[in-house]
Structure 1
Amino acid sequence: MDTESNTKTEKIPNTEVKTEEPDKLIKAIGEIGKWQIMLWLLVAFPTKAISAWHQLGIVFIAPPTSYMCTETNLTNSIEINTCYSDCVSYDFYTDFENTIISQWELICEKAWLANFSQTICMFGVLIGSIVFGYVADRYGRRPALLVACMLQLVTTVVEAFCPTYWLFTTVRFFIGAAIAGTMLSSFILMMEIIGPLKRELMNCLCALPMPVGQMLMPLFGYYLRSWDRYCLGIAIPNVLYLAYFFILPESPKWLLSVGKLEEASKVMTQAAKWNNLPSHNMLDVAKSIASEKEKTSEPIRKPTYLDLLKTKVLRINTLCSCLIWFVLGMSFYGSNQYIGQTSSNVFITVALAGVLQFPGILLSGILSKYFGRKITLISFFIVCGGSNAFLIVPEDWFAVRLTMGAVGVGCASGAFATMYMFTTELFPTVARNMAMGASSTTSRVGSMIAPYIAGMTVFAAWLPPVAFAVVPLLGAITCLFLPETRGKALS
């Protein structure tokens, strides 16, 4: 099948969609207008910014903490950050009043538990990507987003009052799952209500809240210097999600894809009114779109993850997308790992990492619009790999390491933003969220591996920079197997 042709159709079980359908839909509701911007402000922006606080907040929950034994039977001198088998109690020294490390004495043989809670959170993101991807495609974007938001609201409040470490870690798993649901479902919703000519713009708008949230996060950490107060502080804004029961619409594209024409026409009417477009006879427009699909469609049934592998084109797109997302997860968190080593002030480091993502995200929108998704991704991967290779220089070359680390973070974030949009364009509506979920899952695997690669300095100082330089090149090569989607309507 010719994937480059606008006149061909893409078949997966139960659906065969022509490119005329999204053209008619976008013509009815508008490429972009007050309705789309309103949903971005009320849905996409809060979910992404708040998710950053929870996903990256471990730096303020378990910051670097020194300790010293204060009561022991040993007669020799006591040294800081040293464990003693007969030590009765320890004092902890950090910039914070209380951390999970001091709360549950996660030192010595229990030191690994501090980062383990973050690993479990990322594992929750992995599972949540799969579960909510399936829910969103089978039951709708709105139900998936509402369930994820309510789960995030409840678990983030409970997190602040956990009396034991293991309960805290269990709650972190469900927070991670909720984060995956809110980020993926909100992004897919926004991509499905925007026209192809404005998709690059909306992609940038949806990517920017994440670094904005990361830049604001140090304020919570600075003024709420206890892990439980910090958790409660970032949980309170989640109350905003209660309003979604009243303002959140379903994706009209999804409603049309599953044959719910009356519901789709109501959402389309609302959008048209907000955007000052003709809003009458929307049901006739929905029926017209549906009638074109029914000429060649099979009976509608619920999609499954196996549908992503049913045709050769979908198999290639799925496998390549998953591999690229894996590379992105490893590259993005690997670059952040190195940039984080350039400053001893955790507040400055976190804010700086957020600032450095802006150039990459903005450049992603410009390059994607004028040169296409493939060229943009390949360029980001090559520059990211090259900049990471320069991190092999000695540690006293501070300026070089800081500059190259900044370039790596910017390119990784730009590639991430591009791939979010690219993935939505590679798959049809009835399987789009599942494709995003599967791809995001592999990304979380990459992000979980990144810290271990960074820790290979114990074997050889050159190993981590070389690994983080080679991996992006693998992503660049994989891009060559995917079709270009710039300017194409969503199928």
Structure 2
Amino acid sequence: MSSYSSQLEHLIEDLGGCGLLQKLLCTIIHTSSTVTVWSMLAMSFIGYDSDFTCHTLDVKLTTLSTLNLSELSTHRLCSVGQNTTCSSYIFSNSMDTVVSEWNLVCDRQWTVAFITSIQMVGVLLGSIIAGQMADSIGRKPTMLTGFTTMVVFNFVGYFMQSWQTYSVVRFFIGIGVGICFTVQFPLMIEFVPPLWRPLVVCIPAEPLICILYAVVAWWLHDWKRIHLLKTLIGTFFLMILW
């Protein structure tokens, strides 16, 4: 007696093989991964340090006699010794990132790596739970769950007022990314004949989307606008996936 998987493969072949439904499904999933890939790569631009100079230098009175301000360069200046520190900064106007939004330089420089790590913890958690979800409720509901999570929290990220709350947002975005990355390929290949599966998987959609993200980041120059753009694109694909 043939197995269930082989029966399913024969059924797909009898229904027409790789027909219009399969081609539409693969096209939608590959193009909708724009939101997934951009969310994964977001911190490469959103956390970029666009260069800064020290605007306000706090100097204790005991150091005034030994500090020659005329010879001091303020470019990327964080402190001069233990008693002289920079308290405010001027960032380059070339782009707006979370670094310039919340002054994540000098003693806060570690924060960008921390936010990225929090997102990757979310990706790990999403990847772990996606397998169980897909077997329990199906590939498509799981894909919709992850995609909705990304869209909602990309929209929420636009309104964040501190890097602490933004870290929480990136954690949930990471969960959505992990879920979508785990189920998107099984969702496609389960509906196409075995002969077409290598081709479906090998379509270089994600590298092209990575290149597109670089172009979009250069065009918008604003981390909040990128969040809004991902929300709009994600909402469009959510309506199609539903």
| Structure-1 separation of matches of 2:200 and 2:127 | 22
Tell me, yes or no, if the aligned pair for 2:36 and 2:150 is still in contact at 8 Å: no
1:222 and 2:221 correspond? no
CA distances 1:2-48 after superposition (whole Å, capped 9, x unpaired): xxxxx9x9xxxxxxx46642342222333311110011122x12332
Alpha-carbon contact 1:47-1:182 (below 8 Å) kept: no
Of residues 90, 102, 109, the one that matches 1:111 is 109
Q: Secondary structure at the match of 1:88?
A: strand
Tell me which residue corresponds to 1:157: 155
Following TM superposition, the consecutive aligned residue runs of length 4 or more in structure 1 with deviations greater than 4 angstroms are: none
Task: Report the residue type matching 2:17 in the other structure.
Answer: E
Q: Does 1:38 align with 2:24?
A: yes
* Paired residues for 1:79-478 under 5 Å: 79-84=74-79, 85-93=84-92, 95-96=94-95, 98-205=96-203, 208-244=204-240, 246=242
Matched, 1:63 2:48: yes
Alpha-carbon distance in structure 1 between the residues aligned to 2:19 and 2:68? 74
Cα root mean square deviation, aligned: 2.1
Structure 2: gaps spanning 5 or more residues: 60-66
Question: Once the two structures are superposed, what CA deviation does each residue of 1:337-365 show, in whole Å capped at 9, x if it has no partner?
Answer: xxxxxxxxxxxxxxxxxxxxxxxxxxxxx
TM-aligned CA deviation for residue 245 of structure 1: 5.7
Distance 2:78 2:9 in 1: 67
Q: Select the residue among 15, 21, 24 that pairs with 2:7.
A: 21
Q: Distance in 2 between matches of 1:244 and 1:50?
A: 14
Identity %: 28
Residues 296-352 of structure 1, C-alpha deviations (whole Å, 9 max, x = no match): xxxxxxxxxxxxxxxxxxxxxxxxxxxxxxxxxxxxxxxxxxxxxxxxxxxxxxxxx
Indicate conservation of the 8 Å contact 1:31/1:197, yes or no.
Answer: no
Tell me how far apart the structure 1 counterparts of residues 33 and 87 of structure 2 sit (CA, whole Å). Answer: 44
In 1, Cα distance between equivalents of 2:114 and 2:93: 20
Please say if residues 139 and 187 of structure 2, whose CA atoms lie closer than 8 Å, have aligned partners that are also in contact. yes
The letter for the 2-side match of 1:40 is C
Residues 70/188 of structure 1: CA separation in 2 closer, same or farther (3 Å cut):
same
TM-score between both structures, scaled by the size of structure 2? 0.86
Are 1:36 and 1:194, in contact at CA under 8 Å, matched by a contact in 2?
yes
* CA contact 1:49–1:211 (8 Å) conserved in 2: no
Tell me the distance in 1 between the aligned counterparts of 2:179 and 2:24. 21
Deviation at 1:65, TM superposition (A): 2.5
- 3-state SS of paired residue (1:41): helix
Gaps of 5+ in 1: 1-6, 10-16, 247-491
What is the count of residue pairs matched by the alignment?
228
TM-score where L is the length of structure 1: 0.44
Distance 1:66 1:214 in 2: 24
- The alpha-carbon deviation at position 155 of structure 1 amounts to 0.6
Kindly tell me: are residues 71 and 143 of structure 1, through their superposed partners in 2, closer, same or farther at Cα, counting changes over 3 Å?
same
